[in-house]
Structure 1
Amino acid sequence: MDNTTLLIELEYCNGGNLYDKILRQKDKLFEEEMVVWYLFQIASAVSCIHRAGILHRDIKTLNIFLTKANLIKLGDYGLAKKLNSEYSMAETLVGTPYYMSPELCQGVKYNFKSDIWAVGCVIFELLTLKRTFDATNPLNLCVKIVQGNRAMEVDSTVYSWELIQMVNSCLDQDPEKRPTADELLEHPLLSKRRREMEEKVTLLNGPNKRPRSSTVNEAPIAVVTSRTSEVYVWGGGKSTPQKLDAIKSGCSARQVCAGNTHFAVVTVEKELYTWVNMQGGTKLHGQLGHGDRASYRQPKHVEKLQGKAIRQVSCGDDFTVCITDEGQVYAFGSDYYGCIGVDKAYGSEVLEPLQLDFFLTNAVEQVSCGDNHVAVLTRNREVYTWGCGEYGRLGLDSEEDHYTPQKVDVPKTLNIVSVHCGCDGTFLLTQTGKVLACGLNEFNKLGLNQCTAGIINHDTYCEVPYATSLTLAKQLSFYKIRTISPGKTHTASIDERGRLLTFGSNKCGQLGVGDYKKHLGINLLGGPLGGKQVIRVSCGDEFTIAATDDNHIFAWGNGGNGRLAMTSTERTHGSDICTSWPRPIFGSLHHVPDLSCRGWHTIIIVEKVLNSKTIRSNSSGLSIGTVPQSCTTGGGEEEDNEQEAETPNPSGGFRGTMEADRELGGWISTTEAKGGNSADSSSCPGWLRKELENAEFIPMPDSPFPLSMASSEPEKETLPYQKLQGLKVASEEPVGSNKPKTEPWPTCLSPALPCGEGKDASPGAGCMCSDLQVEVTHLRGLVLQCLDDQKKLQQETIRLSAQLQRFCRRMEEMQQVKVHSKGTQTTKEEMEVDPKPDVDSDSWCLLGTDSCRSNL
C-alpha cells in the first residue's frame, strides 16, 4: 500500500483454540476417533514446517487454532527458528515451560525432536484433559520433566494401546528415540486412514478457497486499512500530550494502565512495558518489575516475563499485577498491604514478577487493582480479593486486611462478567447489566445512597457511608451497565446504548453536567455528548476523559497540573482551571482502543487511518471482460475514487462493470471504455462463457400480465447469443450521443432488412425481429427515463442535506444561547456556588475558591 507497511493476511479460525476446547470438555474424555483426527492434522502441520527447516519451539494448545469444522491451524511463529539442515541444533532457552523438552530444561542443544516432545504433550492433554507435567513452581516443573514424572497416566480402558504407545514414543526422554513428524504419519494408526483424512481436509478447506460470491447491489468494501497506532500521556504537570516514541507501529499497544506512580502497557506482541510517570520524585518499591528500584523514565520491557504471553495488566498505588493468556497471575512491587498475595513470604517488596501459585489450577480471566487492594475474576466466574480491607473494599463482610486471595461470596444466580476497583471500593458487573459494590461510599461514588419521594411523605435521602459486603446499586438498576470506571471521588459508567452516566462528587465539575452543584443521584450526560455513543471512559482525581464512536475525545473537571490536556491559549486564567462541560481535546479525529486515568495522569492509545484501500477482484465471474494489465494500478487494484455498479445483462448474466461518467451524463461499459477486450482475455470462467454463448434471449412483453396467461402465450423464436451483441452495444450507447440510432443495430433487426431480405425490401408483418426492435427501443426509453429520475433525486437529496445542515447549526446556536442565558440568570443563593461572572461565563472556576469548596 505505502511501500513501508507489511501486511500478512491469515485465515480466520472461528472455532477458538485447542486449550479452550479442552476446558469445555469438563471431565468428559474425547473419543479416540477425534484424538486421531487432531493428531493427524497436528503431525501434518509439523511435518510441513520441518520440511521447510522451521523449528516452531512453542507448540502448545493455546497456539493450535480451530475452525468451526474442527480443522486445525498451527499458529504463533514468534519464537520459530530456521535451521539450515536436518542436523542443525538450537540452544536458545525459549518456549512455554509446560511443553519444554528435557533437553531444553537441561540447557543443552536441541533440534526438531523438541517439537515432537511438545506434540506429545498436546496429545497427552487431549487424552487426559490434564497437563502432562504440572508443579507449583517452574523449578519443580523442570525437575519433573527431566525425570519423566507425569501428572497422570492415560486410561488404557478408553484408548487403544497403539495410540498410547505413539504418545509415549513422542515423550521419550532420549531425543534420538522420538519419531519424526513423517514417521508419525507413517504409523499404522494414521497411515491406514491417511487418504481418507487427507480427502476430508481438502473437502473442509474447499469453501475457504472459493471466491466469495457477490451480489448486484453489494457496495465495495475497504478490505485493507493502514492505521497508525500511538500512545500519549499527559498530566502530573505536563498539560501537552506527550507521544511515546518507544511504543509505536513496530510495537503497537494493546492495553494501557495508569497508576499513581507508574504506567504499564501490554503490546500486541503480548509483552509488558513499565516506567515511572512524569511527576517522579517518589520512592519506588519495585512496581516496575525490572529487579531494582530505579526510576526508568521511558518504557522498558519487563525481561523477567520474556516468553510469557501477557494479556492484561493493572496498576495499584505502588504495585503491579498482570495475567497471561493461560490465566496465570504475576505480581510485583510493594507488599505492605499484602497486595502481592503470597502472605508476605518474600518481604515487604518484590522487585521481580512473582507467580501466584494460588491460581495455578484456577485460571484468571481479568484483574483490577485499587490503590491498595486487588480483585480478580476467574474463568469459572469466581471472584477473589486480597490486600487492604479498610471500609470493606474486599467485599468479605469485614475490614480486615488479607494477604492471600480470598473468595468473595457472590449469589449463585448472578453471573459476574467483570470486576473494577476504585481507590477504596470495588464494583462487580453482572451479565444482565446490574452493579454490585462495596467499600467507601463517600459522595455516593458507589451509587448506594437511596432517595425516595412521595405525595404524602416528604423527600427522604438515605446515605450509606460504606458497605463491607457486596450491595446492589439500586440507582443504577434502571440502566443496563456495560462498563464502569471508578475515580477518586466520582464514578462514570456506560450503558448498553452508549450513554454516559456519572455520580459522586461534583466539586470541580467532574460529573460533566454543566455546573458545580451537589447532585444526589445518577446523572445522564447530554449537552456536548447528547446523541453520541461513548465507547471509552476513565476517571482520575476530580477529572474525566471519554471517547465517542465518532472518534472524538472529551475531557472535563479539574484542569490543574495538566489533567485536561489544555493548550496554552485555554489556560488564560492560570493552571488551576475547572470546566463542567465536556470539551473536545486532542485536535483531529482519533479512534481510542483503550485509555486509563489515575491520580493526575492519563495514558491513551489513539489510532488514525492513514490509507484505506478497496481491493476489487475480477475473478468472481460477474464481469465478462477484464481490465488490461496496463490499465490497472497496484497489481489489479482499481482506484479508490472509482464508482462501480454492476448491471444485469438481458441474457440473464452480467454485461460487465459500469462506471458513472459525469461528463457524458450517462453510463459507459467498462469493457468498452478500456478497450473492449475479447472473450479470450476474459476473467469469466470457461464453463460460464460457454453457457452465455449458447444462451437464448427471452423477450419481455410490453406490459405485465398474469403468470397464468404466460403459459397460454405461443412460443416465440429466440436468437442465439452471438446475434445479440448488437443489442448490447446499442443499449450501452452513451446518452446524448450524436450517432444515428440505427447504426449499431444488427442487420437482422434493421427496419430495411427484415429476416434476410434485400436492402430495398420492406419489413414483413410477421417478422419477429421488428417486434424485438420495438421492445428494445421501449426498454431503452425506460432506462433513460430512470436515469433522468435518478439525477433529479440526487439533486433533491443534495438540497435537503444542505437545509438539514443549516437547521442543525441553528439548533446548536440556540442551545448555546440557552445555556449561556441560563448561567447568567441566577438567584442570589445560586451566586454563592456558581463561578464568578468576571472570571468566565462558560462554567469555569478557579481551584481553591469558595465557589468550589462550598459544594463538597
Structure 2
Amino acid sequence: MEKYEKIRVVGRGAYGTVHLCRKNTDNKLVIIKQIPVEQMTKEERQAAINEVKVLSMLDHPNIIEYYENFLEDKALMIVMEYAEGGTLFEYLQQKGNNLLEEEEILHLFVQTLLALHHVHAKQILHRDLKTQNILLNKQRNVVKIGDFGISKVLSSKSKAYTVVGTPCYISPELCEGKPYNQKSDIWALGCVLYELSSLKRAFEAANLPALVLKIMRGTFSPISEEYSENLRILILSMLHLDPNKRPTISQIMAEPIVINSLMDLYTDIGKVAVPAKVQRPLSGLPTSSRHRGRLYSAKSSYKGSASNIVLDSSGGLPKPQALSTIYCWGNGLQSPVKLPVSHSDTQVIEVSTGRTQKAGVTKNGRLIIWEVSSVGNNTTLPGSVEQQIPTFVARFLEGQSGVTIKHVSCGDLFTACLTDRGILMTYGSGANGCLGHGTFHDVSQAKIVEELLGFEVILVSCGTSHVIAITNDHEVFSWGRGDNGRLGLDTTESHKSPQPVIIPDPYQARSVHCGVDCSIIVTVDGTLLVCGNNRHNKLGLDDNGKTPRQVDEVHIFTSVVSEPLRQLHIKSVAIGTSHTAVVTDKGECYTFGSNQFGQLGHGVVGQNRQMGKVLFPEGTKILDVACGDTYTVAIGSEGEVFSWGKAARGRLGRSEETNHLPIQVDFGDDEPFIVTSVSCSHVNTLLATKPLSSPDCD
C-alpha cells in the first residue's frame, strides 16, 4: 500500500472492505477492495480470484476499469477505477417522485446495454446486475458497471446452476432452479430499465416467498403513460417469463428506440471538435502514392522492407507480401499444398492437426480453422488416376469475439485452445470426456473448462482421447480416457473432468505431450517423465544396461531409464502411434520405439527396442520434430524440412517410396522461409512458415 494513501472506507461487503484511496504518484483517486484471504473458505477464495480474473478480462468505457491487484497483510487488494457520482440506485432515490425524461432513461440504459454486450462477448455472465452495481461519473451522465464478485466466466452456450444475485432481480428460471444463462442477465437488465422508468423496482415484496411468487407470475405495475409505447414494449419483452422469448442483446440494439439513443450516444459523447481548416491526410501525396488507404514510399516498395511490401511483376502498384504460408501434405496429398489464409497480413504462429481438424493461432490471437470445401471439388472422370486435390477454405472460430487465443492443440475430433489469460476452452467430440466439461456431450463452440478457472493454464496437449494441461505454478491436470495409465493418475480409469496429477519430487513440469496411449512431460531441467503404454520401448522405460529389463506400461509419471536418453537435456518431444522423437538443447534428434517402416531414421528397419541419434547433413541443427503413425518430420534451424519413414498416402510430402533416412522436402520455387510451427496427426502434416524477410525474423 506504499503507493496509495487511504482516505476513507466507502463500503463493506460479504467478502471485505472498500476503501477510497489516493495514488501518491499522480494524486488520482482509486477504489481498493480489501479482501482477507487467510480465513476464507475455498469457495470464498475462488470468488475473490474470480473477480480479479473477470476484471482483468474487461476493457470498456462503461465498465469500472481494473488497475492491479496485490497481497498485503494477508489480504487481496484489488485496485480499480473510482466513480465519483455514486450508484445509479442512489441517483434514482434522490429523484423522489420526479420521473426521468425518456431521453435520459435511454441514455443511461444504452450505456449499460453496451457494457453488458462487452461482458457477454468475453463469455462472462454478470449474474448480479442491479442499480446498486451501476456506477456514475461525477457529472452523472456516464455509466460504469461494477462489482463482478459473483460473475461467471463461461462460453456463450454454458450455463450456471448456482442461484446468485439480488432477489429482486433474479429471473423466473432461477426461482425454478433452472440453469442461469445470458437471458437471465437480460431479465436483470429489464428490471434496471423498469427502475429507470418508474423509480421503483419491478418486483418487491415483504418476504422471499411472496417475492418469488410475484416474479413467477411476472406481474408488475405499468410504467407512466407519459413514456412512449416503444419503451413499454421493450420492458415487457425483456421481462418475458419465457427466457427463449426474451430478446438477445443484438436484438435489443436493433430496436428503433435503442438505435436512436445509440446514435445520439456516439455523436454526443464520442464527438471531437474539428478545426475549421484541416488538410486531408492524403491530399499532399501524388495520386500514384495512394492505394486503399495505405501509404507507400520508395523505401517500402522493396521486398524485405519493414512493411512487407513487394512490387508486382509489372512494376506497378506494390502488393503486400504474405506474412505466413501454411503447407499441408499426407492423407492423399503427395506433395505440400498451400492452404489459404484470410488476408495477406495474417501471420500464423502455431498450427495443430488432428484426425479431421486443421487449426492455427494467428499473431493477433485468433483461432483459424481450415476445412475442405464442398464447393468446387469436382470428381475426376471414371477410371482416371489423376490425384484430385481438395479445395480448402479458412475461417475463424465462431464465438471467439473478445477472446485472445495464444495456443491450440487438436485431438481426435476435438480441439483445445488457450487464451492469453490462462483460460482453457475446448470443443468438438465429447467422447471419453476429453472436453473436460464433466459430461460426454459434444460442443460445437469453444466452451470454458470451468474446473480450471481458478488456475492459469499455460500449456495444453491433446492426445487421441485424453488431455493434459500445465499451470503457471507447474501444476498438472489430466482427463479423458485412462487406458494403460496414460493419465498418470495411478489408475486406468477414465475421467470427464480435470484431475490433479502428482509429479515426483524434485521435478517441475515445463511442457507436456500426449500420444495415442501415453504421455510425456518435459521438466524444467530437461528430464523426461513418462506414463502409459511402453510398447516397443517408445517411452524409454527399458533398462538396457548390464541387467536388461523391459517394461510394458506405467500408471504414474516415471523418469526414463534407457540410455542415452536419461543423460540428455531434452528441449522438445513428439509422440507418434508407436515411436517417439526428442530434440536436445544441442539441436540433436534422437528417436526410439517401433522401427517397422524406418520411422526412426536410423537407416535400417527392425524391432530392437533401441534408441539412437538421427543423422542429418553436417552442420544441421534441429529445432523441432513431429511424429505421425509411421513417419517423422524434423525442422532445421535454416528452414529445412526433413521427413522419413513410410511414404504411403503422401506422408513424406513427396512421391518416393519409403525411406529410412532423413530426406529434405521440396517446396518448389518458393522463397526461403523459416518454420514457425509443425504438427503431425495419424497420416497428415501441417506446417506454418514465414519469409526470411519478415521484419521479426532474426
Tell me the distance in 2 between the aligned counterparts of 1:279 and 1:508: 34
Following superposition of structure 1 onto structure 2, how do residues 435-834 of structure 1 map, counting pairs within 5 Å? Answer: 435-453=528-546, 460-475=547-562, 476-528=565-617, 530-566=618-654, 571=656, 576-587=657-668, 588-610=671-693
Amino acid at match of 1:231: I
Tell me the distance in 2 between the aligned counterparts of 1:58 and 1:538: 45
CA separation of 1:420 and 1:612: change in aligned 2, threshold 3 A: closer
Q: Is the 8 A contact 2:414 2:429 kept in 1?
A: yes
Q: Is the 8 A contact 2:511 2:523 kept in 1?
A: yes
Tell me the distance in 2 between the aligned counterparts of 1:314 and 1:613: 24
CA separation of 1:236 and 1:135: change in aligned 2, threshold 3 A: same
CA separation of 1:229 and 1:582: change in aligned 2, threshold 3 A: same
Following superposition of structure 1 onto structure 2, how do residues 197-596 of structure 1 map, counting pairs within 5 Å? Answer: 224=306, 226=308, 228-276=323-371, 298-344=393-439, 347-453=440-546, 460-475=547-562, 476-528=565-617, 530-566=618-654, 571=656, 576-587=657-668, 588-596=671-679
Tell me the distance in 2 between the aligned counterparts of 1:360 and 1:305: 18
Per the TM alignment, residue 236 of structure 1 is displaced from its structure 2 partner at its CA by 0.5
Amino acid at match of 2:662: W
Helix, strand or coil: the match of 2:567? Answer: coil
Tell me the distance in 1 between the aligned counterparts of 2:525 and 2:483: 29
Per the TM alignment, residue 554 of structure 1 is displaced from its structure 2 partner at its CA by 1.2
Calculate the TM-score normalised by the size of structure 2: 0.56
Per the TM alignment, residue 580 of structure 1 is displaced from its structure 2 partner at its CA by 2.4
Helix, strand or coil: the match of 1:515? Answer: coil
Helix, strand or coil: the match of 1:461? Answer: coil
Tell me the distance in 1 between the aligned counterparts of 2:325 and 2:140: 41
Per the TM alignment, residue 407 of structure 1 is displaced from its structure 2 partner at its CA by 1.0
Per the TM alignment, residue 440 of structure 1 is displaced from its structure 2 partner at its CA by 0.9
| Cα distance per residue 1:246-301 (max 9 Å; x no partner) | 34433321221110122122222222233446999xxxxxxxxxxxxxx9952332
Amino acid at match of 1:267: T
CA separation of 1:61 and 1:523: change in aligned 2, threshold 3 A: farther
CA separation of 1:603 and 1:148: change in aligned 2, threshold 3 A: farther
> How well do the aligned residues superpose, as a CA RMSD in angstroms?
4.6
Helix, strand or coil: the match of 1:537? Answer: strand
Q: Is the 8 A contact 2:349 2:361 kept in 1?
A: yes
| Cα distance per residue 1:618-637 (max 9 Å; x no partner) | xxxxxxxxxxxxxxxxxxxx
Helix, strand or coil: the match of 2:345? Answer: helix
CA separation of 1:477 and 1:58: change in aligned 2, threshold 3 A: farther
Helix, strand or coil: the match of 1:527? Answer: coil
CA separation of 1:271 and 1:521: change in aligned 2, threshold 3 A: same
| Cα distance per residue 1:797-823 (max 9 Å; x no partner) | xxxxxxxxxxxxxxxxxxxxxxxxxxx
Per the TM alignment, residue 377 of structure 1 is displaced from its structure 2 partner at its CA by 0.8
Per the TM alignment, residue 63 of structure 1 is displaced from its structure 2 partner at its CA by 11
Calculate the TM-score normalised by the size of structure 1: 0.46
Per the TM alignment, residue 525 of structure 1 is displaced from its structure 2 partner at its CA by 2.2
Per the TM alignment, residue 313 of structure 1 is displaced from its structure 2 partner at its CA by 1.6
Q: Is the 8 A contact 1:486 1:492 kept in 2?
A: yes
CA separation of 1:337 and 1:103: change in aligned 2, threshold 3 A: closer
Per the TM alignment, residue 238 of structure 1 is displaced from its structure 2 partner at its CA by 0.7
CA separation of 1:518 and 1:323: change in aligned 2, threshold 3 A: same
Per the TM alignment, residue 556 of structure 1 is displaced from its structure 2 partner at its CA by 1.3
Amino acid at match of 1:389: G
Helix, strand or coil: the match of 1:298? Answer: strand
Tell me the distance in 2 between the aligned counterparts of 1:99 and 1:41: 28
CA separation of 1:440 and 1:62: change in aligned 2, threshold 3 A: farther
Tell me the distance in 1 between the aligned counterparts of 2:524 and 2:490: 23
Tell me the distance in 1 between the aligned counterparts of 2:335 and 2:68: 41
Partner of 1:797: none
CA separation of 1:387 and 1:98: change in aligned 2, threshold 3 A: closer
Amino acid at match of 1:583: Q
CA separation of 1:520 and 1:55: change in aligned 2, threshold 3 A: closer
CA separation of 1:139 and 1:388: change in aligned 2, threshold 3 A: closer
Q: Is the 8 A contact 2:22 2:30 kept in 1?
A: no
Amino acid at match of 1:134: S
| Cα distance per residue 1:480-500 (max 9 Å; x no partner) | 111111111211111112211
Q: Is the 8 A contact 1:96 1:307 kept in 2?
A: yes
Q: Is the 8 A contact 2:398 2:445 kept in 1?
A: no
CA separation of 1:524 and 1:104: change in aligned 2, threshold 3 A: farther
1:134 counterpart (143, 151, 154): 151
CA separation of 1:335 and 1:140: change in aligned 2, threshold 3 A: closer
Amino acid at match of 1:604: L
Tell me the distance in 1 between the aligned counterparts of 2:196 and 2:505: 50
Per the TM alignment, residue 401 of structure 1 is displaced from its structure 2 partner at its CA by 1.4
Tell me the distance in 2 between the aligned counterparts of 1:114 and 1:441: 67
CA separation of 1:555 and 1:402: change in aligned 2, threshold 3 A: same
CA separation of 1:366 and 1:613: change in aligned 2, threshold 3 A: closer
| Cα distance per residue 1:98-122 (max 9 Å; x no partner) | 69798899xx9x999999737x67x
CA separation of 1:296 and 1:117: change in aligned 2, threshold 3 A: farther
Per the TM alignment, residue 349 of structure 1 is displaced from its structure 2 partner at its CA by 2.5
Amino acid at match of 1:533: K
Amino acid at match of 1:423: V
**Structure 1 spans left out of the alignment, 5+ residues:** 1-26, 44-53, 65-71, 75-85, 122-130, 150-171, 177-221, 281-294, 454-459, 615-856
Tell me the distance in 1 between the aligned counterparts of 2:627 and 2:534: 16
Following superposition of structure 1 onto structure 2, how do residues 149-188 of structure 1 map, counting pairs within 5 Å? Answer: none
Per the TM alignment, residue 612 of structure 1 is displaced from its structure 2 partner at its CA by 6.5
Per the TM alignment, residue 390 of structure 1 is displaced from its structure 2 partner at its CA by 0.8
Tell me the distance in 1 between the aligned counterparts of 2:357 and 2:678: 15
Amino acid at match of 2:144: W
Tell me the distance in 1 between the aligned counterparts of 2:555 and 2:484: 6
Larger Rg over CA atoms: 1
**Structure 2 spans left out of the alignment, 5+ residues:** 1-14, 32-58, 70-78, 82-106, 170-191, 198-303, 309-320, 376-389
Tell me the distance in 2 between the aligned counterparts of 1:265 and 1:613: 19
Q: Is the 8 A contact 2:125 2:151 kept in 1?
A: no
CA separation of 1:334 and 1:89: change in aligned 2, threshold 3 A: closer
Q: Is the 8 A contact 2:127 2:150 kept in 1?
A: no
Per the TM alignment, residue 398 of structure 1 is displaced from its structure 2 partner at its CA by 1.5
CA separation of 1:266 and 1:356: change in aligned 2, threshold 3 A: same
Tell me the distance in 2 between the aligned counterparts of 1:311 and 1:613: 18
Per the TM alignment, residue 233 of structure 1 is displaced from its structure 2 partner at its CA by 1.2
Helix, strand or coil: the match of 1:317? Answer: coil
| Cα distance per residue 1:707-743 (max 9 Å; x no partner) | xxxxxxxxxxxxxxxxxxxxxxxxxxxxxxxxxxxxx
Per the TM alignment, residue 141 of structure 1 is displaced from its structure 2 partner at its CA by 11
Tell me the distance in 1 between the aligned counterparts of 2:498 and 2:60: 40
Helix, strand or coil: the match of 1:474? Answer: coil
Q: Is the 8 A contact 2:605 2:660 kept in 1?
A: no
